[in-house]
Amino acid sequence: MVPMSPRTFRSHYDVDTPPPGTHLCYEVYDHRRTLIASGHLTNSDEDHAEEVFVGERFRESWRTCAIVWYISWSPCDHCMEMLTRTFLRVNPNVQLHIAFAKVYRLTSGGNIRALRRRGVNIRVMGMNDFYYCWNRFVDTDRSFVPWGNLIPNYYQASHWLNITLSGAP
């Protein structure tokens, strides 16, 4: 895996700025919980980051695995529908865990709940996730310095996710 620059990480994951695109850091674990693959990617001109992972990075040998995504935005409806209607249906033994940094304003509650019904663990990235991603995916010797709005964003996004998952309007 080629690590990303600190600037790339900040431009995508900083909760105070709209990212230039969706960024996705991933880890794939086998049934023994051994890390077998990791990397990061962003959306292409044609595909969202989630589609790039499914179309270009996912391997047949991973059909029984756990995948962890650290993603800059909550998934859009198009990607959630692709995951629930196609990817997870074809790969029922894949356990998908999604942690997102920011709420994408067009993420619908119905699709979030559909992901959860399919067994996807979806949550907001907390402080430990940002530290972990910085140390795991970023090419730097410097320590991660959280930006000012990280904690308030976490609580606001978690509140949104809890209300969304409960089905409240």
Residues labelled catalytic:
50
Sheet holding 121-124, edge to edge: 35-42, 23-29, 65-73, 94-102, 121-124
Instruction: Kindly state the tokens that stand for 142.
Output: 């410097």
- Separate counts of helices (H) and strands (E) for the chain: 7, 5
**65-73 and 35-42 beta bridge pairing:** unpaired
Instruction: Kindly state the tokens that stand for 24.
Output: 């996705």
